[in-house]
Structure 1
Amino acid sequence: MNEEKKGILNAVGAYVIWGIFPLYWKMLEHVNSMEVLLGRVIWSFVFTTIFIVLIGQRKNLIADLKFLWSNKLQFWSLAGASVVITMNWYVYIWAVMNNHVLQSSLGYYINPLISVLFGMMFFKEKLSRATIVSVCIAAFGVAVLTFSSGSIPWVALLLALSFAVYGVLKKKIQLDATRGLAIETLFILPFALSYYMYILTKGNMSFLHVSTKTDMLLIVSGIVTAIPLVLFAKGAQRIPLYLMGFIQYLSPTIVLFLGILLYKEPFTQVEFIAFSFIWMALVIFSVSKVVETRRRHHIASVQH
């Protein structure tokens, strides 16, 4: 199997796992969303750190920590990123547990378009006409949902915005994906442990107090967080960015089907129209990116 095929399989694996995450969080509906989140943080840190030691990268992790400590801008950028991704995790877990699976799907559909806007705002990246058209069409789709329901789809927007901000903060921090997850969760670890002590004293803790199945699900949440991240990192190293961009829509599409078919969330004509605008925007955006990439490759090959 060549490297590109391996990359595609890794990327597909990552996005399929992210797509079926609602199945996992639904099994923990009886646990408070905040406890699920902080359990995920704690066990992600534990398992990624063990994995790093087992693959012989302990010295690399220590070197990363020393580098971050000596470079305050990167240190605070990563600290900010860890707060934002934790918020993203919480909103997603809460949304799934409170029957907002379709909004979660919408959030990850519109995230790439918001990321493009942030690229223009923070990194002076130029937007093509196709991208501008895509963003406007997607915004219209969100507006349709807002006016039809009488309320802003805040779950979708929070998920999209938080992940886009995370991308901005991480853009200039070059860390290995697994070691990066260990360090990011390390920033939140003291707060997670403090919260656990608090709910223990209040007698509201589910871990070790409900069932062995609940305990195992909370512990394994650390593993299911780390696995797709490692697969994603391996995929991103082996395949072009535009191909990764296409594959990323697997995740919200799986979430969408779970919301409609399995969890029976309402998907009326209005939702279909709104999502259709989002899909149209993504098709225009994705095709334009493929064309831009091929054009750059053609120009580069001619120059050489």
Structure 2
Amino acid sequence: MQSQRAGNALAAFSFVLWGLLPLYYQYLPQANINDLLALRIVFSVPCMFLICMMLRQPLPKLAELLKDKRSLVMAFIAGLIMCVSWYAFTWAMTHGQVLAASLGFFINPLFAIALAVFFLKERLSHAQVMAVILGILGIGYQVWHYGELPWISLIMGSFFALYGLCKKNIRFDAMTSVTLEAALLAPLAIGFLAWTYIDGTSTALYADSSTLMLYIGSAPVTLAPLVFFALAINRTSLTMVGLMQYIEPSLQFILAVVLFNEVFDGVKAVSFGFIWLGLILCTLEAVLRMVKRRKRMQTS
């Protein structure tokens, strides 16, 4: 029981850290997203090695990794997919679009449900069907009024769901997988940084030291919640993780509206309302299942 409580606390803390990330990116307004992503990838590698040392979790040797080439390939693909999601996320964070990022994470479970149906042949419950329909109505309402799709939100939500699907096909543990995703992409990131430095077009590498450190700091800042999440996942249930994942976009929503004064008009209120209603239905269904499961365990 204590282990599960610790897992719940770690999971909640990880989502709180993710939710507060916009506060960090406010120090990098109009940042060069290419430089930011490349530096994050490069410095994620030493950060992950340091974290593994602190947690006393040795990474597998190269020979062991090469035995599972499928997982290596999937780790590389997962890293590329995550780059797209992070690119959209960091652009939103640094260009006054925190509300769009919040929407992206709110609709992510709907994309995950769709992928589970198409690729894993899972069957939807009634609540999940309603959530998908309400999500489509919410996005459709925005398109109808604004005349354009919320591209940033859709890219974030869909690619993060694809990332989760790829992770299901990686047989390495969570810490090894995250380290590999960065390590496999690091040569590409280093090549890009070298090219922009020689070409003289790099914003970050020619910036003052404090700005450069903020770019580099994006690696540990974004890895910290991931580590706490990895520590939590084996100590708590996936149901609890699923229920707590809405902490992140909720905090981002509050920061966007209250602190950053982003516009939350009637159209967005209706759109978010449809999506929230669908998520509430799924949450209630998950809670009822958890309560029934506990009752069966107590009676058996």
Q: TM-score, normalised by structure 1?
A: 0.92
- Structure 2 Cα separation of the partners of residues 54 and 234 of structure 1: 13
Corresponding residue of 2:23 = 23
Corresponding residue of 2:185 = 188
Residue 243 in structure 1 maps to residue 240 in structure 2: yes
Given that residues 178 and 229 in structure 1 are in contact (C-alpha distance below 8 angstroms), is that contact kept between their aligned partners in structure 2? Answer: no
Corresponding residue of 2:278 = 281
- 2:234 counterpart SS class: helix
Q: CA deviation at 1:297?
A: 4.7
* AA partner of residue 150 (structure 1): G
- Structure 2 Cα separation of the partners of residues 249 and 85 of structure 1: 19
Percent identical residues: 29
* AA partner of residue 157 (structure 2): A
* AA partner of residue 49 (structure 1): F
- 1:177 equivalent among 174, 184, 195: 174
Residue 118 in structure 1 maps to residue 115 in structure 2: yes
Residue 209 in structure 1 maps to residue 212 in structure 2: no
* AA partner of residue 269 (structure 2): F
Q: CA deviation at 1:112?
A: 1.0
Q: CA deviation at 1:3?
A: 2.0
Superimposed CA distance per residue, residues 26-76 of structure 1 (whole angstroms, 9 cap, x where no aligned partner):
212253111011111111112112332454444x332xx434422332222
- 2:84 equivalent among 71, 74, 87: 87
94-103 vs 277-286, which moves further: 94-103
- Structure 2 Cα separation of the partners of residues 81 and 66 of structure 1: 21
Residues 108-147 of structure 1 mapped to structure 2, 5 A cutoff: 108-147=105-144
- Structure 2 Cα separation of the partners of residues 202 and 28 of structure 1: 23
- Structure 1 Cα separation of the partners of residues 218 and 17 of structure 2: 12
- 2:216 counterpart SS class: helix
* AA partner of residue 61 (structure 1): P
Residue 6 in structure 1 maps to residue 6 in structure 2: yes
- Structure 2 Cα separation of the partners of residues 258 and 119 of structure 1: 31
Given that residues 170 and 177 in structure 2 are in contact (C-alpha distance below 8 angstroms), is that contact kept between their aligned partners in structure 1? Answer: no
84-93 vs 203-212, which moves further: 203-212
Mark the CA change 1:54 to 1:18 in structure 2 (over 3 Å): closer, same or farther: closer
* AA partner of residue 23 (structure 1): L
* AA partner of residue 184 (structure 1): E
- Structure 1 Cα separation of the partners of residues 205 and 157 of structure 2: 34
Superimposed CA distance per residue, residues 118-149 of structure 1 (whole angstroms, 9 cap, x where no aligned partner):
11111111111111011101111111111111
Runs of 4+ in 1 over 3 A off after TM superposition: 53-58, 65-68, 293-302
Superimposed CA distance per residue, residues 186-219 of structure 1 (whole angstroms, 9 cap, x where no aligned partner):
1110110011011101212234532222122122
Mark the CA change 1:230 to 1:283 in structure 2 (over 3 Å): closer, same or farther: same
- Structure 1 Cα separation of the partners of residues 284 and 163 of structure 2: 25
Q: CA deviation at 1:221?
A: 1.6
Structure 2 stretches of 5 or more lacking a match? none
Residues 30-109 of structure 1 mapped to structure 2, 5 A cutoff: 30-58=30-58, 60-62=59-61, 65-109=62-106
Q: What count of residue pairs does the alignment treat as equivalent? A: 300
- Structure 2 Cα separation of the partners of residues 26 and 160 of structure 1: 22
* AA partner of residue 92 (structure 1): F
Q: TM-score, normalised by structure 2?
A: 0.93
- 1:238 counterpart SS class: coil
Superimposed CA distance per residue, residues 53-106 of structure 1 (whole angstroms, 9 cap, x where no aligned partner):
454444x332xx434422332222211111001111111001222222111111
Mark the CA change 1:177 to 1:208 in structure 2 (over 3 Å): closer, same or farther: same
Given that residues 45 and 181 in structure 1 are in contact (C-alpha distance below 8 angstroms), is that contact kept between their aligned partners in structure 2? Answer: no
- Structure 2 Cα separation of the partners of residues 100 and 27 of structure 1: 14
152-161 vs 207-216, which moves further: 207-216
